[in-house]
Structure 1
């Protein structure tokens, strides 16, 4: 395409993730449990950045790195290994990169995080945002000024929302959807914010507020409505063994954006996002679990189930001619190298 804009603009807090898997059950106070698996790598906003970049999207990330080992390592992985544009990012002297330990148990995980608020806000990092084809954002209770600027310059906003620790689920947050092209909450969040009791009811309410509404439902798949095309889609999840669910929602969002930029029908966009997110939970961590086009093609080529072959038959025409090399997954420990 004759379009030199970034495909995706991102900003948010970056973490260094340490993920432990194979626990079987959570530890109890005073108990030591040995794990069967471990991985480390960039997390937080990096989950979206890596997932998007691995699908061939020009990805611009505005975040803050600490001037410590974790910050240097995450910057190196994102810039050199994953090809993410970090021109809007900054390194903060004396500020420790936030660290999260994720305990993956069954299909879910528990998180323990150490960190401080970064010395630069999202608005300070982004300033007057560059024109981008899309922006992927996490909506927060306090709106960010850059979001309205990005929407005004023609950037299509794809938004999700995090868990509300107050559990008040203020409807005021939904006012920000006036700036958005799409909203992709999970089932719990969608029902809480819309005061409904089912994913379909929440979807109906959200579709009145934003052109494209998506509600993810974990092992039950996802449902979506596109008011611009009049499409409705209800897609089941894949039957995949979950190693680590960290970042799966972010991988879903980045994949949905990639398919949307390709102009795919809603059902294909949703199936693709469900697939890529499903493949990601087979590996450690959030960011480096994203399969990219190589992982998608490998799954498609090895597929023998005739029903899935029909459902995902569109991939035969959607896979790029060059899917790239196999992706790097999360190492047990980061290599000792200069950043």
Structure 2
């Protein structure tokens, strides 16, 4: 008899892209001109940033996502499978090309160009019943997703994420889906767009009325959070590094936060860990493929006592 697959620690669903990144650009491209990049790379993107980071940190990870049936869809599938991500609930979609994003990194930030069309399969088409994972990561869109309620009903901690498009075009629809979720993880611009607040701190306070764990990331400046389930509040600075490509850094931060939350760390240590993992990722091109492994994290325990909690985290 075949051994049934292990129940994942974290189940994920969201939009998947294949990313092509160019870094070390001297300036933004201008019409009629050619700009040479110092570095380039490719990587699965979107929800894959969460999935690969979690898997590298040692969480058993399962992903339900639509993959294109073209060359980049095949590459994306192979790379995620090689990272140990369970793709049993994912599906290759015939005659649907993989959404593609080109990232141009310059001046300490990046610009994105994306081409693609909506998947013919919704999350609920892929997920009849979510696995009984300890946590789930859900990319919210304008329409509610039935699987999220099912996950909440089986005591899965749902970490909700959404992008700038949702914040700018569908803020009311996104906020309406937060009750029942455990956490919401926007960046500062998104948080202010959702709440109408004029500072990240005020936006955080409003979001904390909707979810037990509200987190607002502030890029290189760090992150702040309120955990109503424990009564903790915390703010941590970013980790100073020479950034090559910030693509996917927010997703990598979120994945590390999920891993540290499941480990039961205090809120400030969860934020410090997530900020460290995200900072290490921006030193390379890409989101998923730039996520650090434990071999890169372990030295921080040796030279900085602020990271003594690393000994308490499960890892690969």
Question: For this structure pair, what is the TM-score category when the shorter chain's length is used for normalisation?
Answer: over 0.9
Q: Secondary structure at the match of 1:178?
A: coil
For residue 224 of structure 1, report the CA deviation from its aligned partner: 0.7
Pair 1:88-2:89 in alignment: yes
Q: 1:90 to 1:10 in 2, by over 3 A?
A: same
Q: 1:226-237, aligned counterparts within 5 Å?
A: 226-237=227-238
Greater Cα offset, 113-122 or 56-65: 113-122
Residue ranges of structure 1 left out of the alignment (5+ in a row) = 304-308, 325-339
Structure 1 residue 314 and structure 2 residue 313: aligned?
no
Q: Is the 8 A contact 2:143 2:173 kept in 1?
A: no
Quote the residue 1:30 is aligned against: 32
Answer whether contact 2:244 2:284 (CA < 8 A) is retained: yes
Please state how far the C-alpha of 1:166 moved relative to its aligned partner. Answer: 8.1
- Deviations 1:187-215 (CA, angstroms, capped at 9, x unpaired): 11111111111111111111111111111
Q: Distance in 1 between matches of 2:46 and 2:14?
A: 8
Counterpart secondary structure, 1:264: coil
Deviation track 1:221-261 (CA, whole Å, cap 9, x = no partner) reads 11111111111111000111110001000000100000000
Structure 2 partner of 1:331:
none
Classify 1:165/1:268 alpha carbon distance in 2 versus 1 (closer, same or farther; 3 Å). Answer: closer
Matched, 1:268 2:269: yes
**Gaps spanning 5+ residues in structure 2: where?**
1-5
Q: Which moved more, 1:17-26 or 1:161-170?
A: 161-170
- TM-score where L is the length of structure 2: 0.94
Aligned with 2:63 (options 48, 61, 64): 61
- Residue in 1 aligned with 2:286? 285
Q: Take 1:200 and 1:175, find their aligned partners in 2: how far apart are those partners? A: 21
Three-state SS of the structure 2 residue aligned to 1:289 is coil
Alpha-carbon offset, residue 68 of structure 1:
1.8
Q: Which runs of 4+ in 1 moved over 6 A?
A: none
Q: CA RMSD in A?
A: 1.7
Q: CA deviation at 1:171?
A: 2.9
User: Is the Cα–Cα contact under 8 Å of residues 167 and 193 in structure 2 kept in the other structure?
Assistant: no
Deviations 1:38-60 (A, max 9, x none): 00121111111101100111111
**By how many angstroms is 1:70 displaced?**
1.0
Match of 1:159 in 2: 160
Pick one of 71, 74, 81 that aligns with 1:72: 74
User: Could you say if the C-alpha distance between residues 168 and 47 of structure 1 is closer, same or farther in structure 2, counting changes exceeding 3 Å?
Assistant: closer
Aligned twin of 1:330: none
What CA distance in whole angstroms lies between the structure 2 residues aligned with 1:136 and 1:292? 20
What TM-score, normalized by structure 1, do the two folds share?
0.88
**Structure 1 counterpart of 2:54, from 49, 52, 55:** 52
